[in-house]
Chains A and B, each alone.
Chain A
Amino acid sequence: MIEKLFGWVDDRVALSRSGRHLLNKIFPDHWSFMIGEIALYSFIVLLLTGVFLTLYFVPSGSDVVYHGVYAPLKGQTVSEAFNSTVNLSFQVRGGLLMRQMHHWAANIFVGSIVVHMLRVFFTGAFRRPREANWMIGTTLLILAIFNGFLGYSLPDDLISGTGIRIAFSITESIPFVGTYLGFFLFGGQYPGTAIIPRFFILHVLVLPLIIIGLLAGHLGMLIKHKHAQFRGRGARDDNVVGSPLWPTYAAKAGGFFFLTTGVTALLGAAVQINPIWQYGQYYAYKVSYAVQPDWYMGWLDGALRVMPSWEIHLPGHMVPNVFFPAVLLPGVTFNLIYAWPFIEARLTGDRAEHHLLERPRDQPLRTAIGAAVFAFYFVLFGASATDVLANYLSLSLNFVLWSFRVLCIVVPLIVFPVAYKICVELQSTKGAGQRKRHNVIVRSAEGGYATVSTPEYPGYIQPELDPVPLDHVDLVSAMAADGDEQAEGVYRIPREYR
């Protein structure tokens, strides 16, 4: 029956012609390649849980009186957005779980993109021919941050509402067009009435569609280029060594998707996130203590805090304070990230195609620059908690703020030489980073001494093997035509191993 169906489809779209190459596509085995997978899988979780949420969320800023089950809010005038978010959390079956999973998945999504990006950077995976894919990835990071911000702004609670207010201030700080952009985005002067429905359609339709499109391009290019790979037995620039898509990688990656989903569900079950009913409805004149955005906006918030109180005044015009930390800094940041592959190619003069990855120590300068820049943003991220730290450590706010102003300059200056030195030291240390093996010396009957090779893991009996091409194991498949009666799987595996 299945064979018949397959034959019917195959006759019409030539599935087996192109399909076989897909089955045999090789994926290198390295743990660091799974970080990007986490991003992909958490995006799928975002889509699925997000669709659930849209069934109950009402994107409207109109006032309603809360009549739900959460007693402390009863009788209060709230917006429909806030009302429906509280109701879907408390009165829809599984609603709270879906909402918390969605929020956790968003945090994991952006986090795994950042870590994936660090991996790609420090291993030189952005070099030719992958510069364009690096830029697509950077765009995906920007869109993920934007969409995360839009998403947590939707419930119209006190903390996210304050974030929207800051977003308006940042928008209007842009020279020449800022006020126009702000008015067009918000449908008028702050706060306007249009922002919740507009953010909603951007969050659930426009940005996700762009993300899906870029994701398709990102993965399509990955298939075209095939994976970059670390040096290792048999790995060269002109091949890919690892496991085939079918069945090994399909099982591993499929399993990893469910693991990611499972962890997200456990977080959604056990770790509360964004309890908006505790913050309350947003009112423009209300504000609460410890106003922090989601983590991926932390570096911007920290930059806003450590920025000295400078503005530029021109005749009839001005460049406001927030322009520097919130527009100029991210602008410079992302443009530098976009340009890095080309900057590095110019610095090193290396414009050749590379498919073998480098270890961070192989390029001390790149690694030191990357580490120092990352340290800078990490300090800014820490600076978004100045008030909480001052309170927690019983220090004066003044002291904490000045510490961060100093740290965001000093820490990168320390990190740079330290990272550089570590790389150089590691380079000159023989066998650094490799698993230590037994050093077994045997004495022969004649009295000579010799070292014998030992397995990678103690007691591990299987030897390291050289890679073999899959294309040549031809006809042993479920559709075997060579008359082999024993062919029952894709691979005929000898009896003793089953």
Chain B
Amino acid sequence: MSDTTEGQVHGAPDPGAQGLGGPGPGEQGHGGEPAGAAVPVATPVSIGSPQFAVAARHPRRAEGVAAFAFLVALCGFAGFGAAYWQDANNYLLGISLGVAFAAFGFGLVTWGKYLMPRGPFEEPRPQMATTERERAEFVGDFATRGKIAIERRGALGKLMGAAGAVLGVVTLFPLVRSLGPKPDSSMYHTKWRKGARLTSIDNRPVKVDDIEVGGVITVFPENDVGGALSQTVLIRVQATGNVVTGPGKETWGPDGYVAYSKVCTHAGCPVGLYQELTQQLLCPCHQSLFDVETGATPVFGPAPRPLPQLPLYVDAKGYLRAQAGFDEPIGPGFWYRGGSNGSPQ
């Protein structure tokens, strides 16, 4: 990197930098120096000039401060070693290490800021833009030699390109393709099926008298307990009678129960909080509110669609079961989800 810098400094034709960028007498014969480059006349700067004086008004005092800082650092590092050896707690370990590092840094900065040449110094800066001539030379070299080497071998170039293209295709398929399966029917259907028993996280099927009015529980189909997509929130809204949340859903909420997908239709968080007083479900991630009595329609926040409702029935033994799976894809939207009711393609 510094080699480049050197070339830049001395190689650039920069008449603006008069008396600044010229190599001193000790630099003659450096490699990379263009022969015959205009060397501005250097005004030698005496080492005794005030720029080389230290910055501090009271160097002794600054030296004392730096010395004290290094002493603190020394003790701190030793303390850290002792603390680590003795398996001390996090406070002792971290504070000894932190104080030591900070003191070490403070000492070094004090040294640099107050006890070193105060400057200011300068160096020349070449313009980045090259000259017409430099560019012409470069392009000339590139094009003439390139013409002989490449242009006359057009077929070779095309073959090489074809080989590279094949590599590109192979990278996409099968390499990238094998990272995971294609999106499948799991985008549209959960593991809820007709007759699936509502099962709690501790693997107990839920019976109709398990939950008091106002009670809420997360349920899964018995073959997917804990499933991220089939998680469903079961709420007992009232003691008896069907809960009717909309037309065509007259039988979906038997004995005061309703069940909704627990996956938020906004960004997929579990809709975890239930307010009995207002009959609302709240998603704690982005505060979408769903009205339980009207079919979990979103009433506040960014959620765009209701939580899909799971149709329920109570079997002869009193167990709660699903009449069918959800009638639309659960959770947040995706490109292939289809229209507003989200039927699969």
Residues of A within 8 A of B (CB): 14, 17-19, 21-22, 24-26, 29, 93-94, 96-97, 100-101, 128-129, 162, 165-166, 168-170, 172-176, 178-180, 182-192, 194, 220, 223-226, 233-234, 236-244, 247-252, 254-270, 283-291, 301, 304-311, 313, 315-322, 325-326, 353, 355, 386-387, 397-398, 401, 460-463, 465-476, 491-494, 497-498
Chain B residue at minimum C-beta to C-beta distance from A460: B57
Q: Which residues of A contact B298 (CB under 8 A)?
A: 309
Q: Mark B43-64, 1 if CB is under 8 A from A, else 0.
A: 1111111111111010100000
Interface 0/1 of B5-39, CB less than 8 Å to A: 11011000010110111111111001100000000
On chain B, the residues within 8 Å of A318 by CB distance are 333-335, 337-340
Among B153-161, B248-256, B265-273, B313-321, the one that faces the other chain is B265-273
What 19 additional pairs, Cβ within 8 angstroms, besides A223-B5, A397-B287?
A: A17-B31, A18-B5, A29-B119, A128-B128, A191-B228, A192-B180, A238-B124, A239-B125, A252-B108, A259-B105, A259-B109, A264-B98, A265-B101, A269-B98, A270-B95, A307-B302, A311-B304, A317-B338, A401-B287
Q: Which residue of B lies closest to A198 (CB)?
A: B179
In-complex Cβ contact of B339 among A225, A251, A262, A316 (8 A)? A316
B120 at the interface (CB under 8 A from A): yes
Q: Is the CB of B113 within 8 A of A252?
A: yes
Query: How far is B3's CA from A497's CA once the two chains are assembled, in angstroms?
Result: 35
Interface size on B, residues (CB 8 A): 124
| Residues in chain A near residue B101, CB distance under 8 A | 258-259, 261-262, 265
**Within 8 Å CB of A462, what residues of B?**
50, 53, 55, 57, 118
Q: How far is the CA of A398 from the CA of B339 in the complex (A)?
A: 29
> In the complex, A319→B45 CA distance in Å?
69
On whether the beta carbons of A497 and B339 are closer than 8 Å, the reply is no
Interface residue B91 (Cβ < 8 Å from any Cβ of A)? yes
Give the distance in Å from the alpha carbon of A471 to the alpha carbon of B20 in the complex.
Answer: 8
Alpha-carbon distance between A170 and B286 when the two chains are bound, in angstroms? 14
Cβ of B345 under 8 Å from chain A? yes
**A470→B218 contact, CB < 8 A:** no
Cβ–Cβ contact A474 & B123, under 8 A: no
Also in contact, A493 and B54, with CB within 8 A (given A172-B332, A262-B98): yes
Query: Which stretch (B135-143, B182-190, B205-213) binds chain A?
Result: B182-190
User: Across the interface, which residues of B come within 8 angstroms of A29, CB to CB?
Assistant: 119-120
Cα separation A183 to B334 with both chains bound (whole Å): 12
Q: Name B260-279 residues within 8 Å CB distance of A.
A: 262, 266-270, 272-273
Q: Mark B97-125, 1 if CB is under 8 A from A, else 0.
A: 11111111111111111001111111111
| Chain B positions within 8 Å of A465 at CB level | 50-51, 118-120
The answer for the CA separation of A237 and B196 in the assembled complex, in Å, is 77
Is A469 a contact of B5 with CB atoms below 8 Å? Answer: no
Selected contact of B103 from candidates A262, A270, A287, A497, CB within 8 Å:
A262
CB distance from B291 to the nearest CB of A (A): 13
- Contact sample, A vs B, 19 pairs, CB 8 Å cutoff: A185-B180, A189-B186, A237-B125, A239-B123, A240-B123, A241-B121, A248-B116, A251-B109, A259-B109, A266-B94, A266-B95, A268-B98, A317-B336, A320-B304, A322-B266, A387-B284, A462-B50, A472-B42, A497-B53
Flag whether B226 is at the interface (Cβ < 8 A).
yes
Q: What CA separation (Å) do A78 and B77 show in the bound complex?
A: 37
